[in-house]
């Protein structure tokens, strides 16, 4: 969210800035509750992920400050697009397992559905802005999310092998 906020600041888009500030707030609340309900012995992994994410974010924010202002919006937009697509596509890395088990049990349906809807709304906003990064980010994101949703139509959310036993 911080990286999208930086991109919105580079674009000078007040609507995207507000959306990403709110998104950061929601993410912080979510992370806080996640941490509160995580057993103490498992919190080390959480803090390792926070440290790695913070380091990557800080490095990219530093890059955005040092890059040539004439090209930073496009280059930073490309970086953010690649990171976002990696995040959205991550559940598809489990596709061989989904096909083997014939089950979408491990996929977060609600998150994928809401991500598809939100991505579609951002896609429309990108069309309104005529901003190719926003359009391409969200077109690819909606496509990846639609593929994941299609898996729910093909395979049940319960493991078919468990049902047979």
* Per-residue pLDDT at 22 exceeds 70: yes
Instruction: Tell me, yes or no, whether 14 and 58 share the same domain.
Output: yes
Instruction: Using alpha carbons, select from 144, 162, 11, 148 the residue that is nearest to residue 75.
Output: 11
pLDDT at 27: 92
Handedness of CA 13, 19, 22, 23 (dihedral sign): negative
* Per-residue pLDDT at 72 exceeds 80: yes
Instruction: Tell me, yes or no, whether 47 and 6 share the same domain.
Output: yes
Domains: count for the chain: 2
Domain range holding 124? 81-156
pLDDT at 91: 81
* Per-residue pLDDT at 159 exceeds 70: no
pLDDT tens digits for 95-119? 888 889 888 988 889 989 999 999 9
The C-alpha atoms of residue 142 and residue 144 are separated, in whole angstroms, by 6
Instruction: Tell me, yes or no, whether 113 and 136 share the same domain.
Output: yes
Which of 43, 66, 89 terminates a domain? The answer is 66
Which of 14, 31, 66 terminates a domain? The answer is 66
In this prediction, residue 12 has a pLDDT band, given cuts at 50, 70 and 90, of: very high
Residue 103 C-beta-side C-alpha neighbours within 13 Å:
11
* 34 falls within a domain: yes
pLDDT at 79: 94
To the nearest whole number, what is the mean pLDDT of the chain?
Answer: 90
Instruction: Tell me, yes or no, whether 57 and 100 share the same domain.
Output: no
Phi-psi region of 12 (alpha: psi -120 to 50; beta: other; left: phi over 0): left
pLDDT at 67: 94
Instruction: Tell me, yes or no, whether 60 and 3 share the same domain.
Output: yes
In this prediction, residue 162 has a pLDDT band, given cuts at 50, 70 and 90, of: low
When computed from its CA atoms, the radius of gyration of the chain, rounded to whole angstroms, is: 18
The C-alpha atoms of residue 94 and residue 78 are separated, in whole angstroms, by 25
Instruction: Tell me, yes or no, whether 89 and 124 share the same domain.
Output: yes
pLDDT at 161: 54
Backbone angles phi, psi at 163, to 5 degrees: -65, -35
Looking up residue 109, the CATH number of its domain turns out to be 1.20.1280.290
pLDDT at 127: 97
Both structure tokens of 80: 């953010």
The C-alpha atoms of residue 11 and residue 37 are separated, in whole angstroms, by 38
The pTM (predicted TM-score) of the whole model is 0.80
Instruction: Tell me, yes or no, whether 29 and 93 share the same domain.
Output: no
pLDDT at 158: 73
Report how far apart the first and last C-alpha atoms of the chain are (Å, whole number): 44
């Amino acid at each position: 969210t911080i990286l999208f906020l930086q991109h919105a600041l580079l674009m000078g888009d007040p609507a995207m800035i507000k959306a990403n500030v709110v998104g950061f707030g929601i993410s912080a609340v979510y992370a806080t509750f996640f941490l509160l309900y995580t057993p103490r012995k498992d919190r080390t992994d959480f803090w390792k992920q926070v440290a790695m994410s913070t380091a990557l974010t800080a490095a990219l924010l530093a890059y955005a400050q040092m890059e040539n202002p004439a090209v930073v919006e496009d280059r930073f937009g490309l970086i953010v697009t690649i990171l976002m697509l990696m995040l959205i596509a991550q559940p598809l890395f489990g596709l061989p397992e989904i096909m083997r088990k014939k089950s979408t049990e491990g996929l977060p349906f609600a998150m994928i559905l809401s991500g598809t809807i939100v991505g579609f709304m951002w896609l429309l906003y990108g069309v309104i802005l005529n901003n190719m990064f926003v359009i391409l980010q969200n077109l690819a994101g909606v496509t990846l999310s639609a593929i994941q949703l299609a898996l729910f139509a093909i395979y049940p959310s319960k493991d078919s092998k468990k049902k047979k036993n």
